[in-house]
Amino acid sequence: MMRSPLFGDLVSLRNTVDQLFRESPFSDAFDTLWSRAETSGGTVARPMPLDVYADDENVFIVAAVPGMRPDDLQLTVQKNTVTLSGTVRNVMDSEEGKNATWYIHELASGSYQRSVTLPFPVDADHAEAHFDHGILRVVLPKAEASKPKQISIQTGQNQAIEAGSTQES
């Protein structure tokens, strides 16, 4: 299979445009155009995908955090809002990437953040978080006040009526 010289020119053009976007003073604005949310600090924070579900006792949060290490992540709970943030390092900034000739650079890097406000308070003091193969699993116990409670129903002494019985006046 023979490649046209035009193919090499297109690859070179793409690399030049990628570099222009990365090095532009407007690079944060370009990032925002690609549906990335900005934080108040002026740095771009990309959303991270989550699953959030609950049972009677706990709420479970499962986050896909590819490219992050446990020490790259921060998990905070304030009242009933859970915030997960982290950073994926740019491969171009690594030792092997600094002096390399790049042909394709598509892996995302930068800051990621996601906040979820739960419809009930949680007990952050007894939370557990486990990281394995790029997946973070968080278990947050519901606060005692928000757990379902069984209420027994009392009857008065003379008000109990057996099924099938009739009362005469």
**Nearest partner of 80 among 29, 13, 127, judged by Cα:** 127
pLDDT tens string 144-169: 877 777 888 888 865 545 555 455 54
CATH for 137? 2.60.40.790
Top-confidence residue, 31 or 111: 111
In the chain, count of helices (H) and strands (E)?
Answer: 3, 9
Is residue 6's pLDDT more than 70?
no
Q: What pLDDT, on a 0 to 100 scale, did the predictor assign at position 46?
A: 66
Q: What is the mean pLDDT of residues 6-35?
A: 62
pLDDT tens string 53-92: 999 999 999 999 988 999 999 999 998 899 999 998 888 8
- For 96, the domain range is 39-145
Residue 19 in domain: no
Residue 31 in domain: no
- Residue 132 near residue 108, CB atoms below 8 Å: no
Top-confidence residue, 97 or 2: 97
Question: How many domains does the chain fold into?
Answer: 1
Residue 108 in domain: yes
Burial 136-151 (b: 16+ CB within 10 A, else e): bebebbbeeebeeeee
Residue 25 in domain: no
Q: What pLDDT, on a 0 to 100 scale, did the predictor assign at position 123?
A: 93
Confidence of residue 97 (pLDDT cuts 50, 70, 90): confident
